[in-house]
Amino acid sequence: MSKPLIVITGASSGIGETTARTLSTLGHPLLLIARRVERLEALNLPNTLCRKVDITDRTSFASAIEAAEAQYGPVDCLINNAGVMLLGQAASQDPAEWQKMLDVNVMGLLNGIHLVLAKMRERKTGTIINVSSIAGRKTFDNHAAYCGTKFAVHAISENIREEVALDDVRVITIAPGAVETELLSHTTSDDIKAGYNDWKENVMGGVLAPIDVANAISYTYAQPQNVCIREIVLAPTRQQ
Ligand code: NDP
């Protein structure tokens, strides 16, 4: 029997890209979403629709899902992975950076949920996997707004999980610690970036690889539909 459709946001790099490769190997048709569509296409995965979508734009997000469903059937799993991390000191950070994180990490994630949840409830099956962060569980220097968005992701996830549990829809939160990806590169302060990189190399001795998180995502999804792993927090062993 053919496998059901999985949607992955932010699949053009890092955790999303590796998750796409992992789930494609398991035979799932995929809808991959990001702004850098050429990087999605370069993955060259079978049974995969790649769409240039900014997840803050509900209209293009909706039309990508519609096109994928026409080709591969209903969305069985949405992996809300796209996110941005712009670290800064609250007193000096440009509020436009806070807005960006709120728009992508919170509103973009809610947009995805809104686009698939009603049908999942109707079909009495489905899984939403929200990629939050250990920064959604505890605070860190220079992370005020980013932590705010990720604490919000935890709250949204858990609240919606309760809302749809009796329809047999699962809502899962994956909360990684530090992972080697492009995430830090968008922070504008060179001092903060240098400090983070120094911590990664000299205190941590390396951080998680995207495959570590992709494996956790894949494991939660692979459980029978009556088993909901509500949350996984995974971090480098040395991380506080
Ligand atoms: P990357 O920067 O490598 O990946 C981020 C992805 O999000 C990219 O594919 C990017 O694609 C996409 N993205 C960003 N903004 C938008 C947007 N507006 N619309 C659509 N796609 C967007 O970082 P990671 O792989 O590390 O990040 C993935 C998730 O993991 C994020 O939610 C992040 O917060 C979380 N996380 C990461 C940790 C880490 O240490 N790396 C730790 C804990 C959580 P494009 O630019 O092409 O649009």
- Across the range 25-53, mean pLDDT stands at 98
Alpha-helical regions (H) of the chain: 14-25, 37-43, 58-72, 95-101, 109-123, 144-164, 190-198, 210-222
60 falls within a domain: yes
239 falls within a domain: no
Q: What is the CATH number of the domain that holds 88?
A: 3.40.50.720
147 falls within a domain: yes
Give the whole-angstrom CA distance, residue 38 versus residue 56: 19
User: In the chain, how many domains are there?
Assistant: 1
CA of 36 to the centre of ligand 1 (A): 12
Query: What would the pLDDT profile of 128-167 be if each residue is shown by its tens digit?
Result: 999 999 999 999 999 999 999 999 999 999 999 999 999 9
DSSP symbol at 107: I
- pLDDT of 129 reads 99
101 falls within a domain: yes
Query: What would the pLDDT profile of 4-23 be if each residue is shown by its tens digit?
Result: 999 999 999 999 999 999 99
CA of 84 to the centre of ligand 1 (A): 5
91 falls within a domain: yes
Q: Which of 64, 74, 73, 46 lies closest to 169 in space, CA to CA?
A: 74
Determine the residue of 22, 50, 65, 84 to mutate for testing ligand 1's pocket, defined as the one with the most ligand atoms within 8 A of the Cβ atom. 84
- pLDDT of 13 reads 98
Domain that holds residue 90: 5-234
140 falls within a domain: yes
240 falls within a domain: no
86 falls within a domain: yes
219 part of the active site: no
Q: Which of 146, 196, 219, 221 is catalytic?
A: 146
CA of 86 to the centre of ligand 1 (A): 11
